[in-house]
Structure formats: structure tokens, C-alpha cells
Chain A
């Protein structure tokens, strides 16, 4: 069966520090991969999605970037975090445009 992993589960970082969040999927090939951010009490904001290795689409211009170095690996990065980057980051996968399967999430607090 398919599983999705995200780490770390929680992270506290100072403003201006770099960020790297990792997501891996097991049990499926060539999935579509997604990064979302959810601010407290808010909906899901799509940040990036990828339909294949090295193919990244950005939805919101900001200081975050994403990479997909392997078929089932998706990385969210930042060179310098802002206070507004705090939130709950979720990785998800899907096949075609069907059901999305979400990871457990990373709670990021920028101080």
C-alpha cells in the first residue's frame, strides 16, 4: 500500500534562517506531488506542484522554492525564512487528478 512521509514533524526556526522540508512517497510510481501551507484557522494554500522529476509549478510567488530530485521525493526550501512563513505545511500526492493523499504535516514556527 501507499504511504507518505514528511519530516520533521515540528520545527522552530529564527527569522532569516534556511529551511528544508522533505516528503517521500512509497508504493506508487510517477505520482503528482504537492506542497500546501495552512495558516492557523485557514484553508489550504497550494504552493507548488510537480508532475514529474525536475518539473515544478509555482502557484504563489514568495521566498520558498521546491525541488523534485527523485520520482517520489519532494523538497520545500527557503534561503531566508520570514515570520509570515509560519504555518502547517502539508505534502500530498495523487495519480492523475484523482484523490489527494496527504502526509502528516510539518508545524513550522518562525520566531
Chain B
């Protein structure tokens, strides 16, 4: 069955550094992959979508890469700030309607 793994359950980094989160998937070849942010007690919020024919996507301080050979996506936050502290989830779409989410990486940016 399709599976998504986010390697780090938690990641602490110093303010101003670049945070890099990893998402690996198996038994699937998704057309695209998404990243969401979730704050405690809230629903996830969409951040970025990257398609299989795109190697990299940027939005402000965020950058996502997608390597279909390695079956991996990397999510980068540059010049990280304490306000970036949250849980980040990756998701892929299986078939037309079904989303599969990773377990998330809890990022804490230290001031």
C-alpha cells in the first residue's frame, strides 16, 4: 500500500538558519505532492504544491523540491523565524480524490 514517511518527528533549529524537512513515499508515483502547515489545535493550512514535472517550487521563504527517482520531497524554510514553529505535513493524492498524509515534522525555531 502507499506510504508516506516524514523522517524527523521533531526538528529544532536556531533562528535565521534554514530548516529542511524530508518526505519520502513508497509504492506510488504521484502526479504531485503538497505541503501543509498545522498549528496546535488547528486544521492544516496549504502551503505549496509541486508537480512531478517540476523539480523546484518557491514561495517567499519556502522552497520545495521533488525527486521522483528518489521518491522524495524536501521542504526548506530559509531565514527561519520563531513564528515558523509548527508541524509540517506532506501529502500526496492517490487516484483522483484520496489524499494520504505523512505523520508530520514538528519544527521549533529557537530565538
Contact = CB atoms under 8 A, between A and B. Distances in A.
- A and B held together in a complex: yes
Interface of A: 32, 34, 36, 42-44, 46, 49, 51, 57, 59, 88, 90, 92, 96-105, 107
A100 B99 contact: yes
Secondary structure dominating the interface of B: strand
B42 interface: yes
Interface residues of B, number: 21
Contacts of B49: 98-99
Contacts of A59: 98
A99 B50 CA distance: 11
Contact of A43 (B97, B98, B101): B101
A44 B45 contact: no
Contacts of A104: 42-43
Contacts of B101: 36, 43-44, 46
A107 B42 CA distance: 10
B27 interface: no
Nearest to A10: B41
A92 B103 CA distance: 17
Say whether chain A's binding surface is mostly helix, strand, loop, or mixed: strand
Nearest to B44: A102
Interface in B79-111: 89, 91, 93, 96-104
Nearest to B31: A97
Given A101-B46, A102-B44, A46 B100 contact: yes
B43 A92 contact: yes
A73 B63 CA distance: 35
| Best-surrounded residue of A46, A90, A97 (most CB of chain B within 10 A) | A97
